Structure 1
């Protein structure tokens, strides 16, 4: 497949999680006075042809999300795989650049490096986790060819996007350091705020 024939890249910002460990909506957490959902949205818009926010039914009217193009999860209570499958169902002919909304250190350079390393004949392009070396599914480029595998795994009761990537034919890039560190608890949020303040 030539570069000219490669599927276009759309962005999917995952924001449908229940945020139970954080005890509040992670999308609303602010760094530098800006909700991290909007910060992540700007990153996606800068590198993709079109972008969408993944939401649950209950979030459709949320003021933070309602002003952005949305894709509603068509699967209940299966985690990030719901958002990815729902996006693929909306458009199965594009590659989806999927990122979680709770990656406060993610930057445009890291996303462009991912895109530049892409080979559309692979099923996906992903970074290796700096914690275990396995593919990071929530900052990854999912090609159209991986849809059948992910759908089959979910229908079989396996809801892990990471395990789908492990089974697929992917291009695995070296870890980009701490750029993909996510925040799940109030304690981690406080630590991240301190870390960002030290860098600024």
Structure 2
């Protein structure tokens, strides 16, 4: 028996054609779909980043000034209120997901494109009885004016016992309330990752094994974060560094030699659908109250939520909530030769907070600092 596996077995993010949160609207004409999408976006844009996908199959008039007409493959225009990219190339799902990565929701004209979930409009002018194969995961049914019931072909197509909500298409407030609840139900879980470090040259010993609280700092941080996260793991560079006696769940670096950057990427490789709260183990002053403040102010529309560092100069990358959308962004930085998580935060759309007690963000890197920290903590803290 041949057990050869051609490709590595990787955990895949829960993505559709364009995004992890995508809803195709179909069952009525394109003008109605665009009008409805505009109404939804107008109600939600203050809270969410929303994109719309449509198609225009009318013959385009030639623009003699366009560089595309002269053979260019791509044109970028920086306008006053927005930026415009015009491509000649066709996109597939892999390119689409990159383009739409930083959105919260993608609305799709289902007359032209598929999406993993659907909002179905019951409009007698455009019945769906010949397009049932597009209805793979119906989340909502909308009734147009004068329609009071669902056609039998749709009822028979839906899974047995499916309780799909039904609303009037004209009730935009109820529709946007539904979408808001739908997005809230799909929030990524928050996992914890203790960055255990290793044999620190400056400290001259393993910083994760130092006992500020009568137990290793690794274990102390693991217990603190376990009370705040769905699951918590300890990040190690390799198996040889793992403290077997502690018997804690671990994430071993699969991105080798990249320090904390590799630890974060390795956690995403293990679970790309979770958000990851990463905390370095060399922060003995850090309290659960400060971590709670970070979690309570988490902005899911950003790639990350983080504090300004203890010197109030730059984002602090090692006390950060990294959202799932951060994973492809970090890989893009790595692709360009950068493995600094702080550089990712500086050059990305992040939620930047002031720490309630900035003294807690102090790293302890040297033996003298360790002795000072132990003395201060024994006396009750900072």
**TM-score interval, normalised by the smaller of the two chains:** over 0.9
Q: Partner residue of 1:40?
A: 221
User: Do residues 177 (structure 1) and 368 (structure 2) align?
Assistant: no
Moved over 4 A (4+): none
Q: In 1, distance between residues paired with 2:331 and 2:310?
A: 27
Give 1:197 deviation, angstroms: 2.7
Q: In 1, distance between residues paired with 2:358 and 2:237?
A: 31
1:117 to 297, 301, 310: 297
User: Do residues 150 (structure 1) and 322 (structure 2) align?
Assistant: no
Give 1:151 deviation, angstroms: 1.2
Q: Contact 2:194 / 2:234 at 8 angstroms: preserved in 1? A: yes
Unaligned runs of 5+ in 1: none
Q: Partner residue of 2:307?
A: 127
> Could you list the per-position Cα deviations for residues 137-156 of structure 1 after superposition, in whole angstroms to 9, with x for gaps in the alignment?
11110001111111121232
Which structure has the bigger radius of gyration?
Answer: 2
> Could you list the per-position Cα deviations for residues 126-173 of structure 1 after superposition, in whole angstroms to 9, with x for gaps in the alignment?
011121431111111000111111112123221110110111111111
Give 1:20 deviation, angstroms: 1.6
Give 1:64 deviation, angstroms: 4.7
> Could you list the per-position Cα deviations for residues 78-130 of structure 1 after superposition, in whole angstroms to 9, with x for gaps in the alignment?
11001000001111111000001111111111111101101211110001112
Higher helix share: 1
Q: In 1, distance between residues paired with 2:241 and 2:378?
A: 33
Q: In 2, distance between residues paired with 1:181 and 1:59?
A: 28
TM-score calculated relative to the size of structure 1: 0.93
Q: In 2, distance between residues paired with 1:18 and 1:154?
A: 24
Q: Partner residue of 1:24?
A: 205
Give 1:71 deviation, angstroms: 0.8
Give 1:195 deviation, angstroms: 2.0
Q: In 2, distance between residues paired with 1:115 and 1:54?
A: 20
User: Do residues 197 (structure 1) and 354 (structure 2) align?
Assistant: no
Q: Contact 2:303 / 2:350 at 8 angstroms: preserved in 1? A: yes
Q: Contact 1:17 / 1:79 at 8 angstroms: preserved in 2? A: no
1:163 to 340, 343, 352: 343
Q: Which has the higher contact order (CA 8 A, sep 6+)?
A: 1
Q: Secondary structure at the match of 1:127?
A: strand
Q: Secondary structure at the match of 2:361?
A: coil
Q: In 1, distance between residues paired with 2:376 and 2:274?
A: 36
Q: Contact 2:239 / 2:252 at 8 angstroms: preserved in 1? A: no
Q: Contact 1:73 / 1:86 at 8 angstroms: preserved in 2? A: yes
Q: Partner residue of 2:255?
A: 75
TM-score calculated relative to the size of structure 2: 0.50
Which range moves more in the overlay, 19-28 or 80-89?
Answer: 19-28
